[in-house]
Structures are given as structure tokens and as C-alpha cells.
Amino acid sequence: MSKKVLICSNTSWSIYNFRFNLAKSLRKNGYKVILVAPYDEYSERLKQEFEYYNICIDNKGTNPIEDIKTIIRFYILYKNIKPDIVLNFTIKPNIYGTIVCSLLKIKTANNITGLGTLFMKQNFITIIAKYLYKYSQSKADKVFFQNKDDFELFIGEKLVKRNKSDILPGSGVDINKFKPEIYKKEDNIFKFLLISRMLWDKGIGEYVEAGKIIMKKYKNIEFQLLGFLDVDNRSAIRREQMQKWIDRGYVKYLGISDNVKEEIKKADCIVLPSFYGEGTPRILLEAASMAKPIITTNSVGCKDVVDDKVNGYLCNIKDSDDLAKKMKMMLKMSKKEQDIMGQKGREKIIREFDEKIVINKYLDSIIKIL
């Protein structure tokens, strides 16, 4: 009888976009794969391929009563499914899912996909979060991190034990899907593109301010934004604010897309000035894999994808002037120099961030744990 591997995340969207190839590889290797995540518009796509269960998780809240309800839901669901191992992604599955698995004697492998804004400020919530991480991860069989900084932070704060922790190259990227493609431009407009949820913490404000600086000197430049707007997050950029930027000609908002590959292909340079606690931003991996030059911040997770002045530029955090400086450096390069920069990025991704590296680490760990 096949061993049951359950994958749990805080959205069906994230499983579909980031974990689907992992799920398929596990199935190909003889495991029965079950997916658990809150219901959203991507859940039906999960159902077409795998056994799927909906679970209600209050992702942004810190209400202890709601969190207790989440723990109870995990307990009822996992007691019924009886998985052999659970692969957790994102904060609440990592913490509450692991606690429940330890009660039910189910093995767990967790993935710290980035810390978001959680550890940015030292407050009461951070203290509670650290305690919950320390308690829950002591019950886990394996803890993966997506960058060295988060790994060292957790080891240094004694939140996890080094001997059961490991570093992954982010979520990895499908290098056969995200590959360089020839795109014939119909205009001579240089397009900068920022793809993320529309959050201030992702550096959207700095991107707009840098754009204003650039526009004073350069013509035929476009500053594009792509991603979810008005999301349920304290750092969310509201629709009215976006409309003001659009009306003043600062940005072109492209909405959301199920095919980011197509938008990356049309862009000349991908920008992510994030100061959010990233794991390793998937969009930077995808862009570099498609041989696009990158500008991003010298911050946790982001800096791992860019070798400064080789496949892109690193700029200072929360510094629109420095971001504008790096954008000008990109604009001053010839098309050939930009292409070489992009090719260096493609080589780096193949060497360090191929999704197969992540999948193989999971396969090896599951065999050892079980």
C-alpha cells in the first residue's frame, strides 16, 4: 500500500503555483499525494489531479480563539486522513499543523518559506511567535529554510536544531518552463516590471518614486505593476492609491495574470525592491531563468538570486534614489550588455536554483524520515 504524503499550505493558489511539480514528482515516485489548503479559485484545479481537502485558516489574524479552532480542524482532518507524513508550508501549517501531527504521531517536514514582517519588529507578537516556532519545530522531523539568513536566525535564536535543518534554493524553478524566449517588440519603450502582491513592504512605493526620478531625464520608459491589489494585509496598497498613480502617468497596472511567463517575456528588466521578509522570491527565479536582468534589494532572500553587476543590480533597502540610480545604470547599457547580464542569470539559475534540486531533497528526506 502506498505511503500517504500530505502537502499543506495557507492557500490553494500557492500549492498550484509553487508545489504542484513537487506533488506530481511524489506521485511519480509511488506516493499517494493529498493536498490540504483553504478553498479559493485554484482549489478546483487541485481537485482535477489530486485528492483535496478544504481547511479554514485565519492567515493574517492573531486571535487565539481562531487559532484554537484551526488546531481543532487540523486534528479532525488529520485523524481522519491518517497521512504517513505531512509537508507543511507557510506559518500556521508549520506551527499548528506540526503540533497536531506530533499529537497524532504523524511525521512532518516543514518549509520556512520566509518570515514576512513577523520578525521585523521586536514586540509581543514576535515573542509569542518565537515561542510557538521553538515548541512546534522541536516536534518536526525536518525543517527546510529558503535562504541562509533565516536558517542562521533560527539556529542562533535556538528555535530549531541544526542537525535536522537544511537550506533549499527557495522553491526552485522549472527551468524547462521558464526559459528564454524571443520577443519582437513593436515599440521602442523600455519596460521595467514589478510582479508581486501590491504591498508597501514589497517596495512598491520606492518603485514609483524611482520611476518619477527616471521620467525627469528619460523618455520612452514604462513602469509596470502586476499582481493582486487590495489584498487582506495591513501593508496592502488600496485601489484608490493605484488609480492616482495611473492617472498621473507614473505606472501602468497590468492587473493579475495566470501566465506571468508571458508578461516577463515582454519586459526588459524585472524589479523587486522588497523589504518584506522573503524566502527566495519565486518571481526573481522565474525572471532570471528567462534570462531577464534583475534589480532587487540587498535584503534577505532577494540578494541570493543576484550577483551584483553580473546578472543584475542590488540596491539599498527603502532607498528610491539608489533604486533610480541602478535603473539608470540598466538604461545606459547596450541591448547586447543587457542580454549578457540576462544570460548570466539563466546560468546561475540552472546551476543553483533548478526545481529538481528542491524535489530531490524532499524525496531523499521523506525516505529517511519514513
Q: What is the pLDDT of residues 88-109, one digit of tens each?
A: 999 899 999 999 999 999 999 9
* 181 belongs to a structural domain: no
pLDDT value for 299: 92
**Is 177 domain-assigned?**
no
Pairing between strand 4-8 and 85-89?
Answer: parallel
In order along its 370 residues, the chain shows pLDDT tens digits of 799 999 999 999 999 999 999 999 999 999 999 999 999 999 999 999 999 999 999 776 667 888 899 999 999 999 999 999 999 999 899 999 999 999 999 999 999 987 765 566 666 777 888 889 999 999 999 999 998 888 998 999 899 999 999 999 888 999 999 999 988 888 889 999 999 999 999 999 999 999 999 999 999 999 999 998 987 778 899 999 999 999 999 999 999 998 899 999 999 999 999 988 788 999 999 999 999 999 999 998 899 999 999 999 999 999 999 999 999 999 999 999 999 999 999 999 999 999 999 999 999 999 999 9
Domain count, the chain: 2
Claim to verify: residue 235 and residue 363 sit in the same structural domain:
no
Measured distance CA(35)–CA(12) in Å, rounded: 9
277 and 147 share one domain = no
Whether the CB-CB separation of 275 and 297 falls below 8 Å is answered with: yes
Q: Are residues 148 and 252 in the same domain?
A: no
Verify that 210 and 164 share a domain, yes or no.
no
What is this structure's pTM? 0.89
Clarify whether residues 165 and 196 are in a common domain: no
Residue 102 placed within a domain:
yes
Does residue 65 fall inside a structural domain? yes
Q: CA–CA separation, 174 vs 119, rounded Å?
A: 30
Say yes or no: 13 and 86 in one domain: yes
Q: Are residues 141 and 246 in the same domain?
A: no
- Closest alpha carbon to 275 in 300, 294, 304, 242: 300
| Residue 108 placed within a domain | yes
Q: Nine-digit cell at 29? A: 515516485
Predicted confidence (pLDDT) per residue in 9-32, tens digit: 999 999 999 999 999 999 999 999
DSSP one-letter code for 19: I
Q: Domain limits at 164?
A: 4-172+354-369
Q: How far apart are CA 122 and CA 322, in angstroms?
A: 27
Q: Do 255 and 165 reside in the same domain of the chain? A: no
Domain check: are 38 and 164 in the same one? yes
CATH, residue 12: 3.40.50.2000
Both 113 and 151 in a single domain? yes
**98 and 120 share one domain:** yes
- Rounded to whole angstroms, the Cα distance separating 153 from 328 reads 35
Q: What is the pLDDT, as a whole number, of residue 190?
A: 97
> Could you tell me if residue 362 is left (phi over 0), alpha (psi between -120 and 50 degrees) or otherwise beta?
alpha
> Does some domain include residue 183?
no
Q: Which of 341, 265, 267, 352 is nearest to 305 (CA)?
A: 352
Q: Is the CB of residue 26 less than 8 Å from the CB of residue 363?
A: yes
Q: Are 107 and 101 in contact (CB under 8 A)?
A: yes
